Structure 1
Amino acid sequence: SIAADLFCDTKPDYLSYRWNCDAQSNSTVKQIDPAGGEFYSDGTLFMSYSFDECQTRFSDEEVAAMRANLMTEKASWLTDVPTEGEITGAPDMLLPLDGENAPVSGAELRWASVPNATHYLIQYTRISSFIVKEFELVTTDTSLVLGNLFVDKNYYWRVRAFNHWYACTPFSPQQSFYTVPVTAITSPESDNWRCYPSLISRGQALTLEFGEEWQQQNLQCSVVDVTGRVMWQTPLRSSNARIRLDLPSGNWPAGVYHLILAGEKGVKTRSLMLQGG
């Protein structure tokens, strides 16, 4: 006898739709063959329409047929060694720094390249468990500029590196950023210096961005009130293009303050409005 699918080591299966199986991995629908014999389809076979949770195997003849096809029609798919190197780690997250502010429109995500990686999968969401992903993209670059997000929200993001040979790779540890209104973020100056937000709450951190000329500099950072009284002062090292500055503003009165940043390249100032409450 000849089977319709040319595989003689599998049971008949007339079900042409996705179907569930019982506890023995057989179909719940009884079928009748041309000779009048009753049977149930085998749900363990991948070459069936059973649900994914039922499928566990290929039959011996199915395996032999696939191998024969690979050795003949698909011989070009075979190679002795991988053509791309192994990926052993996850990307380092560079920007935004974990927990820092980011503009609600045009925020930039940046990560370090991974040896042997050709592609990166980026995901972000407002749910820290990532059970729901609001955005997912594959890119060959190591940065991504986002569109419009929701304001005053925490976003969580992560990245995974892979190539054509190594795709089962780990995600980076997730990091978060907090979106602030575009009006709270000034445009960068000619040397790419920027400080935001200008409207802050008590305990809220600032984000400082430095152009190349201002990076790797020893700076003196001060915050003064409108009378010129120094509220806080600390040495600062511009070790990265973007850093987070935590202000001890918990007990400061609401009002206007001035951030002063002094270094070898000059002095930068920014006015801040501290909200009450």
Structure 2
Amino acid sequence: MFKRLSFLFSFALTAVFAAQAQEVHPPCGVDHEGAQLITERLLENKAALEAGLITERSTTYVPVKFHLVGQANGAGRISPSRVLDQLCALNEDFAPADIQFYIKDGFNEIFNNAVFENHSNTQNTIMEFEKDNNAINVFIPANANTGGGGIGTTLGYYSPFKDWLVIRKNDIGTSEITTTHEFGHFFSLPHPFNGWDFEPWDVATHGSTVMQTTAPDNFTPVELVNGSNCGSAGDFICDTPPNYNFGFGWNNCSFTTVVKDRNGEDIDPEERLFMSYFLNCPRGEYFFSNDQISLMQADLQSSQRSYIRSNHTPVLDEITEVPVLSAPINNEIVESFNAVNISWEDTPGAQAYVLQISRLPTFSASLMVYDEVVFGNSKVINSLLENTNYFWRVRPFSAYRTCTEFSEAEAFTTGSTVSARDIELLDIFTVAPNPVSGQADIQVSLKANQAFEAILSIHNLAGQEVAQLGEVQVQQGSSQFEIPAQQLAPGVYLVGLTSNAGRQFKRLVVTE
């Protein structure tokens, strides 16, 4: 009977603010057809449990592909550190279910304005191309809007058709339950207020005693307090009490309004369920019920989830130390600014690190100048300003161990010298005449032990490019190139040669 039941299944977690009641907001990202598919999956999972088809469980490690979305110019992308925090919280939340998650093959970065600002228009193109077919996919753009009208601001949703999650970047982190809530939907869990998703209980509409037998979606039977229809009404789960979406708009964790079901019994919802809309409970008190856990395990073991059961166990070594920073030493004034070598000691158990460099020790997003994942224990940074103070810190992690801490921050100040890694293929690099009159040409002579392509350019002492000859072909043996000096004002310059093998500069003085 229940497989023929078609009803609206809401998968979007929505923000709760009183002012939003009069606004138009995006709805959840699933329609009636998708809801029916999820309903069938939920009921199949229940049937498998009742038939004893689910074996005794052990910890299962599930791969997750996080897609960090930013603007085309590189701005706006969420910090990798916040995603580490989110995975840490996610694993703590799912530990009672013996489900643990790990990062599959690093983070995927997508720098595209359309995906970042209006992802729903790219679901059949860019997002589909970026999807990993052997992992749970989590896209993190600026917002999770899906278009249309609805209640609340969509914080995240699970799409049963695309089988991926979209979480807006502001709701990624340890203090939010959005991602855990949507992972519950991924594993076939409905809201405990199923059927009331887009029309929360209101005394003026539904009365203090709710007499209707069908929820506002016009499909789902209304669940009773006495449990007589718990397996065929509401969320179909018997250890989650009736809830007519009392949490939407409620500003604390204790629902005190007296509402009765049609039998005249007081309804006492469980506010602390991850799948509820009570968003103001203490973070550590949220939980999945025992029946919800069993249904998620059944879903994980179903044929539809075989693609995430890889039987792979990630490296489980714990990371108990923070990195020891090596260079620059604290408060050092480094000589150069365009190629500052940052290094730290290897941390036991770490597979990668998040390196952050900021203008202030608060490491606020607006003043962060570098915030990237680094494989290895050093990085040459070439995007810094001269004669400027910076703060830096490092956080270790592995694909599974992300509950880690940053090192203490240290500071350094850049100098004004342009630095470069010498090109090892070059035996000779000369500039003549030097000094050179502004009316003459500059002769660049090279001798290389192997042919390579390079860019020949001229820079001022601040590192800014003031002239460029363009791409040159350096031959094995001797090569010569001319750069006109007529447009260079008298002064001191750097003649640069840039290739995949490195950069090298020669000092040049131009006279009148």
TM-score where L is the length of structure 1: 0.52
Q: 1:96: which partner in 2? A: 328
Instruction: Return 141-150 or 169-178, whichever deviates more.
Output: 141-150
**1:14 Cα deviation from its structure 2 partner:** 4.7
Q: What one-letter code is carried by the residue in structure 2 that aligns with 1:121?
A: V
SS in 2 for 1:61: helix
Q: Identity across aligned pairs (percent)?
A: 27
Q: What one-letter code is carried by the residue in structure 2 that aligns with 1:46?
A: F
Give the Cα–Cα distance (whole angstroms) in 2 for the partners of residues 153 and 140 of structure 1.
26
Q: 1:148: which partner in 2? A: 383
1:126 is the counterpart of 2:359: yes
Q: 1:61: which partner in 2? A: 291
CA contact (8 A) 1:27 1:41 kept: no
1:115 is the counterpart of 2:342: no
Residue from 155, 158, 161 that aligns with 2:396: 161
Residue from 389, 394, 405 that aligns with 1:170: 405
Give the Cα–Cα distance (whole angstroms) in 1 for the partners of residues 269 and 337 of structure 2.
54
SS in 2 for 1:180: coil
Instruction: Return 70-79 or 100-109, whichever deviates more.
Output: 70-79
Per-residue CA distance 1:133-168 (angstroms, 9 max, x = gap): 613212223222334334443211111111123211
Give the Cα–Cα distance (whole angstroms) in 2 for the partners of residues 168 and 180 of structure 1.
36
Give the Cα–Cα distance (whole angstroms) in 2 for the partners of residues 20 and 146 of structure 1.
48
**1:19 Cα deviation from its structure 2 partner:** 4.8
Change in 2 beyond 3 A, CA 1:169/1:23:
closer
Give the Cα–Cα distance (whole angstroms) in 1 for the partners of residues 249 and 256 of structure 2.
7
Give the Cα–Cα distance (whole angstroms) in 2 for the partners of residues 137 and 188 of structure 1.
22
Per-residue CA distance 1:239-263 (angstroms, 9 max, x = gap): xxxxxxxxxxxxxxxxxxxxxxxxx
Give the Cα–Cα distance (whole angstroms) in 2 for the partners of residues 17 and 108 of structure 1.
52
| CA RMSD of superposed structures (Å) | 3.8
Instruction: Return 146-155 or 168-177, whichever deviates more.
Output: 146-155
Q: What one-letter code is carried by the residue in structure 1 that aligns with 2:348?
A: P
SS in 2 for 1:108: strand
CA contact (8 A) 1:98 1:175 kept: yes
Give the Cα–Cα distance (whole angstroms) in 1 for the partners of residues 270 and 260 of structure 2.
14
Q: 1:22: which partner in 2? A: 252
Instruction: Return 14-23 or 157-166, whichever deviates more.
Output: 14-23
Residue from 271, 274, 294 that aligns with 1:46: 274
SS in 2 for 1:43: coil
Instruction: Return 120-129 or 76-85, whichever deviates more.
Output: 76-85
Change in 2 beyond 3 A, CA 1:131/1:39:
farther
**1:45 Cα deviation from its structure 2 partner:** 0.9
Give the Cα–Cα distance (whole angstroms) in 1 for the partners of residues 278 and 388 of structure 2.
43
1:1-277 to 2 correspondence within 5 Å? Answer: 1=229, 2-15=232-245, 19-24=249-254, 26=255, 42-51=270-279, 53-54=281-282, 56-72=286-302, 77=309, 83-102=315-334, 103-130=336-363, 132=365, 134=368, 135-181=370-416, 184-185=417-418
Change in 2 beyond 3 A, CA 1:149/1:13:
farther
Give the Cα–Cα distance (whole angstroms) in 1 for the partners of residues 299 and 260 of structure 2.
32
Change in 2 beyond 3 A, CA 1:110/1:72:
same
Instruction: Return 136-145 or 77-86, whichever deviates more.
Output: 77-86
CA contact (8 A) 1:21 1:54 kept: no
Give the Cα–Cα distance (whole angstroms) in 1 for the partners of residues 326 and 421 of structure 2.
19
SS in 1 for 2:414: strand
TM-score where L is the length of structure 2: 0.31
**1:52 Cα deviation from its structure 2 partner:** 6.1
SS in 2 for 1:176: strand
Give the Cα–Cα distance (whole angstroms) in 1 for the partners of residues 274 and 402 of structure 2.
22
More strand per residue: 1 or 2?
1
Per-residue CA distance 1:82-114 (angstroms, 9 max, x = gap): 644232322221221211123443322222222
SS in 2 for 1:69: helix
Change in 2 beyond 3 A, CA 1:145/1:72:
same
Change in 2 beyond 3 A, CA 1:189/1:163:
closer
CA contact (8 A) 1:14 1:31 kept: no
Give the Cα–Cα distance (whole angstroms) in 1 for the partners of residues 377 and 256 of structure 2.
48
**1:77 Cα deviation from its structure 2 partner:** 4.7
Change in 2 beyond 3 A, CA 1:16/1:164:
farther
SS in 1 for 2:238: coil
Give the Cα–Cα distance (whole angstroms) in 2 for the partners of residues 59 and 188 of structure 1.
59
SS in 1 for 2:273: coil
Q: What one-letter code is carried by the residue in structure 1 that aligns with 2:321?
A: G
Give the Cα–Cα distance (whole angstroms) in 2 for the partners of residues 101 and 43 of structure 1.
55
For structure 1, list consecutive stretches of 5 or more residues without a partner in the other structure.
192-277
Number of aligned positions between the proteins: 187
Q: What one-letter code is carried by the residue in structure 2 that aligns with 1:108?
A: N
More helix per residue: 1 or 2?
2
**1:179 Cα deviation from its structure 2 partner:** 2.5
Give the Cα–Cα distance (whole angstroms) in 2 for the partners of residues 88 and 33 of structure 1.
52
SS in 1 for 2:299: helix
SS in 2 for 1:110: strand
